[in-house]
Structure 1
């Protein structure tokens, strides 16, 4: 089988939780994804599938406000497969899913050096009010008028544990 990106299926739950747990130093990210699923806040979720099962996973959720804004919730790639482009392909797939769902913008809490290559910037997010570190908040403006907009980001309840 050729590796491919496909939509997450409930049967992937255990393998994806294990994958996420192996990629992050803390266990919260797997709990975050599970809570987003349970609350119906997931906008798109994909796995990078290979013969060995999921080598990568991405989850994108909906902000409660502004309307039609999404959050790149988690990106996880098996440690031994990192650097092979799997994470990049998953981020591109998630951003394309946001476009297909007529999203206005996608935000992410993460490392600027990694996400800037996809068009996420701190500059686009600099006037956003967020309960999290503005330094780690980046935005990808799908609709150009959202770049630099003043808005309060309201996250789903699953984020209250961060």
Structure 2
């Protein structure tokens, strides 16, 4: 799949739309999009034509999340990753799932230490305009708004 995510305009917050052939790919690309939207900077991060490039992952965390439904699972997963980012001063750009259902997931997330963000930090992952759907071609897409 060519496009992993896109940054969308929003009046006061940050908004992305992510794509994936599988739910795993959708969740991974939403994670990438969340961090790319606020432009982290650090030793292993560069930008080429406004596209974030992470040269190598130097750290890993395990994330386990349980929720009521798929939409809540995505919000909770991203919120857990945001929490880890805040307490460790890191950004994450990849996830490998060992379990992903409509109500629970377990994965390893991979990222790098960061020096900060060029844009405002994300305060929260919201349910505002949240959507997860699969189109006629079987491609998943998620729209997520972040409170900044």
TM-score (norm 1): 0.29
> Quick one: higher RCO (CA 8 Å, sep 6+), 1 or 2?
2
Greater percentage in helix: 1
TM-score (norm 2): 0.31
Greater percentage in strand: 2
